Amino acid sequence: MQAESGQRVNDMKKADAITQKNRRAGWWIILVAAIVLEAISCVQYLTSRHAIRMEAERRAKTELRRAELEISLHTIELETAAKTLALLAEKHVDCPDSIYAATRLAVSSLRTHTSMAVAYVPDYFPKYGKYFEVCSSRITEDSVYTRQIGSAEHDYTEMEWFQNGLTIDSCWWGEPYLDDSGSRAYVVSCSYPVRDRNGKVVAVVCADLSLDELKNLSDYLQVYPNSYYTISSSTGMDIVPIPDTVPGRKYNIFEEEIDATGWHITIIIPEDVLFADLNRIGRIVGIMMIIGLLLLLFIVWHAGKSSKELVETTAKNQRLENELQVASMIQDAMLPKVFPPFHDHLDVNIYGLVDPAKEIGGDLYDFYIRHNKLFFCVGDVSGKGVPAALVMAMTRSLFRSSTAHEEQPEYVMAKMNRAFVDQNSQNMFMTLFLGVLDCKTGELEYCNAGHNAPMIRTKGEWKMIEVLPNLPLGIVPDFEYQAQRTHMDYNDMLFLYTDGLTEAENTEHEQFGEQRMQDGLSDIGDRLAGPREIVAEMKRRVETFVDGAEQSDDLTMLCVRYQTPALIMRNDIQQIPTLAEWIEGLGIPDELNMPINLALEEIVSNVMLYAYPGTHGQVIVEYIKVNDERILFTISDTGIAFDPTKKEEVDTTLSAEERPIGGLGIHLVRQLMDEVRYERIDDKNVLTLIKNI
């Protein structure tokens, strides 16, 4: 009794010591966790801030280039009109009455509300007086007002634009000024000389661009909320002035020069606007950190109250976890996990899934390509747990070694069966479907060892493949397996599965069954899904059917699509001509070549111009003939995420100046194709174009 009492006291002392030790360890854990979390948050915040600043700079430069292009379009249009008016004036240099019609015609050809004038050197037409300047101004959309405005009160010879126009043999842009006779507004003017038949400058064309027009344009091009565009002349004079800023508010400034005029355009972005999302996320993360630390404090405190039981339970669970982890690692290492798996074989798309009923299972799928042939298999080991996982690992090794030098599936199956029987100390057996697909011809050779018959989708319909009743592996060592053959056309799909799919039960013990599987595949096929989507959707349907019932068997699915080889294009606009050649070789109806070519060229050229900040990257175009009624193309890239389908429909009834900039490209694609869809998948932009035949 005394010995037992002493042992109990010693155990209590040890438990108390463990409790105190665990409590101290718990406080250290809290302290270290707080420091680590704070350090991680700081690093993430600084890294995110830098990334946002870099992205803002890239975006600002892009927007500046877009703004430069928009302004250049206006200035080039005005310069072209000025040169054209100068040519008309030179043609009728001795006919002053023709100048009225010429200026009127020039103003009518412009989209903007502007004024244009032709001012002659003093006394060039004596009968009209010393000053002769014909000016036309747009009053309304359909109204142009033309008159002679030269006079002693309006001495245009003193104007900067006139003096420079006499000496500079090109378009010249002046500084902003108030035009109180022509446009009757603040303008910047472009002047161009007019010469007589002897080459002597006798007049100057003046074309005015309203500062209000530029101000409206800069408001339209606003890149961030509360950001500003400003435009200044080559000498620093404000064309679109800087608005009033808030004292103490920090701003980020980005500047670009407009080559055509020498002006400078600037974007001014408030720093609090630029980092608004980051600051909001930072506050949320901070709150979550505090909540996490409080929760950790509670857990440590609660764990300290029952440290003796926790030590025993932890030790026991650790042993079990280690055993299951070893088995799970063995099983997981056997399965391909990279999808899509073949970057150099785009004519094959494949996706697989194993969902074990317990921590580890006995289902198997595997695949690889050798000599342009796809070797693949799906199997189901009888039994569960660690023994089944070991048999699964052995079968995968047998599959790889047996197909390394043999391509006939019946011989491979026989070889695997003999090895399986020799090493089958657990008296297990395994059902297995093994296939060999020739990627060049589409010929499929397969051998089925007691496994569920796969489904094949051809000509738009799903049907079950005919299989011979060969025995499973591990039963009869010298069984003679028989192979079968079929043909897969481009974009045909093969769906393989284990009985964990068809025999999945709900709470009423009703099985999912082959009919629900076939109906589900037909529904998915109508939505033009690929292997990944088919497997994911079938898993979702099974989960919906079982409605929370415990999973009784491993669920394994493998989907293979034999698809048209894709066109891989470098991020180089010079690659565009190869697109037409590729389309011509697809064998699609002649009447569809032109609209499909136009639509693909529009999408691919936009990807090359805007998806990649630098010159690196590539565009992949894939063709799929769904059935005799419609075909589809997918264009994928790893560039900047962008969904062109979010562009609003273009109202073609509006005039050019009323219609917003952009959107015509996707408008054209929508007109040419019957359906356009966008997805962001695995950091890729994927645009799907569908055309009815």
Which CATH number do you get for residue 630? 3.30.565.10
Query: What 3 state SS string does 98-112 have?
Result: HHHHHHHHHHHCCCC
Looking at the fold, whether 571 and 522 belong to one and the same domain comes out as no
Domain total in the chain: 3
User: What is the DSSP annotation of 575-642?
Assistant: GHHHHHHHHHTTT--HHHHHHHHHHHHHHHHHHHHHT-SSS--EEEEEEEE-SSSEEEEEEEE-SS--
| Domain contains 685 | yes
Is 311 among the domain residues?
no
Residues 347 and 427 in one domain: yes
Question: In terms of residue numbers, what domain contains 574?
Answer: 567-692
SS3 257: strand
How does pLDDT run across 582-611, given as a tens digit for each residue?
A: 888 777 888 888 999 999 999 999 888 888
Residue 305 lies in a domain: no
Same domain for 515 and 573, yes or no, is: no
Does position 515 have pLDDT exceeding 90, yes or no? yes
Residue at 380: amino acid letter = D
Element of type H or E holding 686: strand 684-692
Q: Of 280, 299, 318, which residue sits at a domain end?
A: 299
Residues in the chain: 693
Q: What angle do CA 413, 414, 415 make, to 5 degrees?
A: 90
- Predicted confidence at residue 578, as pLDDT, reads 87
254 and 188, same structural domain? Answer: yes
Residues 481 and 497 in one domain: yes
Of the residues 562, 594, 616, the one at which a domain ends: 562
pLDDT in tens, 99-114: 888 888 888 888 777 8
How far, CA to CA in Å, does 453 sit from each of 158, 456, 497? 94, 10, 8
Asked whether residue 11 is assigned to any structural domain, the reply reads no
584 shares a domain with 541: no
Residues 269 and 407 in one domain: no
Both 158 and 284 in a single domain? yes
Q: What does the block give as tokens for 197?
A: 């038949």
Highest mean pLDDT among 144-148, 377-381, 489-493, 679-683: 377-381
Residue 632 has pLDDT above 90, yes or no: no
Top-confidence residue, 223 or 456:
456
pLDDT surpasses 90 at 556: yes
Instruction: Note the pLDDT of residue 376.
Output: 97
**Does residue 621 fall inside a structural domain?**
yes
Domain end call among 507, 539, 562? 562
The beta-carbon contacts of 462-471 under 8 Å, at least 24 apart in sequence, are 462/495, 462/518, 462/521, 462/522, 462/525, 464/514, 464/518, 465/494, 467/433, 470/413
Residue 167, judged by CB atoms within 10 A of its CB (0-12, 13-18, 19+), counts as: exposed
| pTM of the complete model beyond 0.85 | no
User: Residue 554: which CATH number?
Assistant: 3.60.40.10
Same domain, yes or no: 149 and 131: yes
Please give the residue that has the higher pLDDT: either 266 or 641. Answer: 641
Q: What CATH number is attached to the domain comprising 45?
A: 3.30.450.20
- Within this chain, do residues 250 and 345 fall inside the same structural domain, yes or no? no
Q: Is residue 8 part of a domain?
A: no
Cis peptide bond prior to 340, omega within 30° of 0: yes
- Asked, for residue 10, whether it belongs to a domain, the answer is no
Residue 178 belongs to a domain: yes
Q: Name the H helices within 428-530.
A: 499-502, 513-526
Residues 209 and 184 reside in one and the same domain: yes
User: If you search the block for the tokens 């019946």, which residue do you land on?
Assistant: 410
pLDDT, tens digit, for every residue of 570-579? 888 888 888 8
Answer whether residue 663 shows pLDDT above 90: no
- Residue found under tokens 């972005």: 269
- 546 and 572, same structural domain? no
Q: What are the tokens at 376?
A: 């693949």
**Whole-angstrom Cα distance, residue 662 to residue 467?**
56
Distance CA 42, CA 35 (A): 11
